[in-house]
């Protein structure tokens, strides 16, 4: 006696619905790891209060701009600020522009979302783009401020 196998109706209906609605299936399957969001704040105080900037960012900054990867915790930001970095949150690198795996692990340990990452999982290369973050900027890094 042969057994008949049936496909669930949803397997047949989904492609048909996509065609009817004009949805681009490539958009549904796109890798969102390449997508990011840009936000800004007039002052560092406003940026911290809105959750745009980390809590360690000092008062007195202006024109803050931030890019964040939509699918992860990667962020870069810039702002106008002439003061000193907060010593409690910002630790100097042993070598400018070349954080060690230990320095990265210590910095990232301050963030609950990524503190359990193995240092080998932490990228030490540029992963986000912004017009205000020229190529090679990361090579001038002097401090890691918490996970930044």
Give tens-digit pLDDT for 3-60.
554 545 444 444 554 455 554 545 544 545 578 899 999 999 999 999 999 999 999 9
Q: What is the pTM of this model?
A: 0.68
CB 21 within 8 A of CB 41: no
Cα end-to-end distance, the chain, whole Å: 66
CB 43 within 8 A of CB 137: no
Give tens-digit pLDDT for 74-108.
888 999 999 999 999 999 999 999 988 888 888 88
């Amino acid at each position: 006696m042969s057994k008949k196998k049936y496909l669930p109706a949803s397997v047949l209906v989904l492609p048909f619905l996509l065609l009817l609605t004009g949805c681009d299936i490539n958009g549904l399957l796109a890798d969102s790891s390449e997508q990011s969001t840009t936000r800004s704040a007039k002052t560092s105080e406003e940026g911290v209060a809105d959750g745009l900037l980390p809590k360690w960012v000092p008062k007195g900054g202006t024109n803050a701009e931030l890019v964040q990867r939509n699918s992860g915790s990667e962020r870069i930001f810039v702002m106008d600020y002439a003061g000193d970095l907060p010593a409690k949150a910002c630790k100097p690198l042993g070598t400018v522009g070349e954080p060690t795996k230990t320095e990265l692990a210590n910095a990232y340990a301050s963030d609950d979302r990524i503190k359990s990452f193995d240092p080998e999982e932490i990228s030490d290369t540029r992963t986000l783009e912004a017009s205000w973050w020229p190529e090679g900027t990361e090579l001038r890094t002097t401090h890691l401020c918490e996970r930044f």
